[in-house]
Amino acid sequence: MSPGLPVEQPRPHRHVLPLALSPLPEADLAGYFESLGNPTRLRIVERLAQVKEARVSDVALLLGISQPRMSWHLRLLRRARIVTTKREGREVLCRLDRESIAARLANFSQLLGGAGEPSQESNQKPGVDPAESSSKPLSGPRRERSLPEVIS
């Protein structure tokens, strides 16, 4: 190497998500949403949202993807702190990291300046007195189901 010539730094691989050491919430959110931008990973998250925990092999079978491909997608979702995995014997179980997801959604809402929060005016129906309107939920409490229940 001759003196005076600039040294070119290696470029990071385009699939590397800058989540673990990112000091800025915006960069953290960008990597988070990037990991959800893949249709297969979004389908994995959708399936895991329906159950408390599932075997990786069951989710792969349900989605029709190979075990190596499933492991690759789960690795990216783990890096983004969207899912967690644990080994039980020969099986690997995965679940959504709901606490981390809730924190990210709160960060996103804060980034939008609270734009994600519904206002009182937007919830009020025209011509209806807010004191008379009930705030009943549209559906009952959410029950977590096992993967076999979801499949059938």
Residue with structure tokens 């309107």?
133
Q: Quote the pTM value.
A: 0.58
| Residue 36 resides in a domain | yes
Nearest to 38 by CA among 84, 81, 85, 74: 74
pLDDT given for residue 37 in this prediction: 86
| Residue 33 resides in a domain | yes
What is the rounded distance in angstroms from the CA atom of residue 121 to the CA atom of residue 40? 38
pLDDT given for residue 119 in this prediction: 53
Q: Each residue's pLDDT tens digit in the chain (152 positions)?
A: 555 655 555 555 455 444 444 445 666 777 788 888 899 999 999 999 999 999 999 999 999 999 999 999 999 999 999 999 999 999 999 999 999 999 888 888 888 886 555 555 545 555 555 555 444 444 445 556 656 565 55
| Residue 2 resides in a domain | no
| Residue 129 resides in a domain | no
| Residue 70 resides in a domain | yes
pLDDT given for residue 143 in this prediction: 58
| Tokens standing for residue 71 | 């492991």
Q: What is the CATH number of the domain that holds 42?
A: 1.10.10.10
Segments forming the whole domain that contains residue 100: 24-111
pLDDT given for residue 98 in this prediction: 94
pLDDT given for residue 23 in this prediction: 46
pLDDT given for residue 35 in this prediction: 85
Number of structural domains in the chain: 1
pLDDT given for residue 68 in this prediction: 94
| Residue 3 resides in a domain | no
| Tokens standing for residue 117 | 């929060």
* Residues in Cβ contact with 39 at an 8 Å cutoff, skipping those fewer than 6 apart: none
| Residue 47 resides in a domain | yes
pLDDT given for residue 21 in this prediction: 43
